[in-house]
Structure 1
Amino acid sequence: MTDNDHSQHDEPSRSPHDRDPEQPSGGNGTRWTTRPETPADAEAVHAVNAAAFPTDAEAHLVDALRGDPQAWLPGLSCLAEAPDGSVAAYALLTRCLVGGVPALALAPVATAPEHQRRGAGQAVVRAVLDAARLRAEPLVLVLGHPGYYPRFGFVPASRYGIRPGFEVPDEAMMALVLDDSGPVPQGTIQYPAAFGI
């Protein structure tokens, strides 16, 4: 399946934590304003995650991660604003471990249904990855659509000897090395408790 063949209803290779394998529609000229989440955004962020997924589990996941000081990293939750100032898309990076070494997990990524396939998801993923680079974070992991995340530089995590502690298709578990000045950690991914995995 190519990204152009992907439709909103294709579910088999999509992570439950990524909801916007989008192709920009092109020609709409939308430039998305991105910024870090603030406490005042919590309700709108909850609404976007609830609308973007079949259930509100992702919205509750974000709320739970906010309350976990071991997982939540200020400045690594970003949103894209629609022209009217509402939240169009959201992306979150939280602390995880790979073989006991700190890394980041990208999840969820959500775009409000009315803004999907217009580039809002791409804009917010780029914003949160840029924020991670500014913090000198070395590694980001994502369980997501293999036709979507490689555009950001993600490759199968297995290339680095990184694996999840559960069964997923190899191409869906991906890694992005942000800082290659040191060795990339290897081993099993340990997610924050809120993920329930």
Structure 2
Amino acid sequence: MTTLRLRPEDPADIGPVRMVLAAAFARPDAAVPGEVALVDELRDSDAWIPELAMVAEYGGEVVGYALLSRVFVQSDDVRAPALALGPVAVAPHRQRVGHGTAAVQAGLDAATELGERLVVVLGDPAYYRRFGFVRADRMGLTSPWSGLGEPWQALALPPTTSGEGPPPRGEVVFPAPWSRV
């Protein structure tokens, strides 16, 4: 029986991850989807956290991907670390069987283990609600995508120590690669 294997991306996965992203985000108006370039640029930036680039492998083939990368929440003079989820992609021939959900959950679990407190995402509320995401404005978070309403979402991860306060509030500042998507 073939099982799904979830693990952090390794260098040998770069090509297969690009193929999954290109197939999942293919648009007739773009030769290479912006999500491919986004991941490539994030890999070469300070926003990259290797343990949070999750690959879903099925039968030895990379079929899914979920990336969590570093962003910051700016409030007055405080700059707190947070994570952005995305892109999330599944190869078209393996969609709708749970591979994307599994990759996202593995990434969120790994982020929690690393002591991260907050994740933001821009995406389908019906999909991300299953992980506990809520409208980001309800958590006091703004961004260039705040005007989109429901798709701009956030998730407070469970604290790893009892002394941790609430997640940060303020303007979510994305690294430069995000401005080109």
- Identify the TM-score tier after normalising by the shorter chain: 0.7 to 0.9
Q: Is the CA contact (8 Å cut-off) linking 2:145 and 2:152 kept in structure 1?
A: no
Q: Is the CA contact (8 Å cut-off) linking 2:69 and 2:83 kept in structure 1?
A: yes
Cα RMSD of the aligned pairs, angstroms, is 1.6
Which residue pairs with 1:145 in the alignment? 124
Which residue pairs with 2:174 in the alignment? 191
Question: In the alignment, does 2:57 pair up with 1:81?
Answer: yes
Distance 1:40 1:30, change over 3 A: closer
Which residue pairs with 1:124 in the alignment? 103
Structure 2: unaligned runs, 5 residues or longer: none
Identical counterparts, % of pairs: 49
CA distance in 2, matches of 1:168, 1:128: 27
Q: Secondary structure at the match of 2:84?
A: strand
Q: Is the CA contact (8 Å cut-off) linking 1:49 and 1:110 kept in structure 2?
A: yes
Deviations 1:45-96 (A, max 9, x none): 111101100242101110000000x20012110111122x111100000000
Runs of 4+ in structure 1 over 3 Å off: none
Q: Secondary structure at the match of 2:12?
A: helix
Which residue pairs with 1:102 in the alignment? 81
CA distance in 1, matches of 2:146, 2:132: 23
Q: Is the CA contact (8 Å cut-off) linking 1:139 and 1:179 kept in structure 2?
A: no
CA distance in 2, matches of 1:190, 1:167: 12
**Paired residue for 2:47, among 67, 71, 95?**
71
CA distance in 2, matches of 1:33, 1:171: 32
Q: Is the CA contact (8 Å cut-off) linking 1:30 and 1:118 kept in structure 2?
A: no
CA distance in 2, matches of 1:145, 1:168: 15
Number of equivalences: 167
**Paired residue for 1:92, among 67, 76, 93?**
67
Q: Relative contact order, CA 8 A, sep 6+: which one is greater?
A: 1
CA distance in 1, matches of 2:88, 2:145: 21
